[in-house]
């Protein structure tokens, strides 16, 4: 596989991952139980599931651009 194909695959993969993460965040935003504001773990961490998803989305956006 040449470099151009690898770069395109990388960009396409990042785009797909970014769209999936945004779709998950949107689905959870409208779900019952306020899931996005729940602690990310069973230790009652101050970091929420929403914080984690936002971090994933921001990182993917940086890599994609």
Q: What is the pLDDT of residues 31-61, one digit of tens each?
A: 999 999 999 998 888 999 999 999 999 999 9
Q: What mean pLDDT do residues 12-20 have?
A: 94
Number of structural domains the chain divides into:
1
Answer for the pair 61, 11: CB distance below 8 angstroms, yes or no: no
What's the mean pLDDT when you consider all of the chain?
87
Cβ-count burial of 52 within 10 angstroms (0-12 exposed, 13-18 middle, 19+ buried)? middle
Expressed as residue numbers, the domain containing 11 is: 3-64
């Amino acid at each position: 596989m040449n470099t151009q194909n690898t770069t395109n695959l990388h960009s396409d993969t990042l785009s797909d991952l970014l769209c999936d993460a945004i779709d998950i965040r949107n689905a959870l935003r409208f779900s019952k139980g306020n899931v996005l504001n729940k602690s990310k773990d069973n230790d009652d961490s101050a970091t929420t599931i929403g914080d984690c998803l936002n971090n994933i989305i921001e990182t993917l956006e940086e890599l994609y651009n």
